[in-house]
Chains A and B, each alone.
Chain A
């Protein structure tokens, strides 16, 4: 069954609002990666987190890895229309397990 769950499945925000997606695993992960998939496109790597409690930032995006290495989050500050797409986490536990994804719509 699905090892990595992600919520919410969909999120609509007004441009300028913040957005957060959460990823939870039933098992302790070796690392976690985040990908973005634009509509009609393919997943593109954003970042990888390895250490317990790790926090990384990419401009308006903040990524966190939980202390127990079972959960992670992606937070976007002040969304823009270019942020539209589906965001996936992918946790490694022997294999890579992708989350179900969060589809972000940004309303101008």
Chain B
């Protein structure tokens, strides 16, 4: 039982490049979300999904796209990377909303130069 798996663990991008951060969970969780973590800012919600085919914006969605074609996968796309997107990104999943424990992936450290 792997839990929540994120790839890659580290990535360096040039400004303007695009990439996809992968997130997969094997717990059959309906709710999945993406956060970014910056010093002194805590974790800020980027996008979330309450089930396959359903996504919505969080606090800081600009510059990021998501899709949820299956229950297991929730990729995060950066279409044109900017230095302001340098951060640590965490994917999380939970059984549902309404106050259920979130399980986090190991994180992806992204640097945009």
Contacts and interface: CB of A to CB of B under 8 A. Distances in A.
A20 interface: no
A96 B47 CA distance: 11
A98 B43 contact: yes
Interface string A41-55: 111110010100000
- Contact-size category for B: 20 to 34
Mostly, the A contact residues are strand
A43 B44 CA distance: 13
A58 to B, nearest CB: 14
Interface residues of A, number: 25
Interface string B66-103: 00000000000000000000000010100001110111
Nearest to A100: B42
Across the A-B interface, the 6 shortest Cβ-Cβ residue pairs: A31-B99, A98-B43, A42-B104, A100-B42, A45-B101, A98-B42
Interface of A: 2, 4, 6, 9, 30-31, 33, 35, 41-45, 48, 50, 88, 90, 92, 95-101
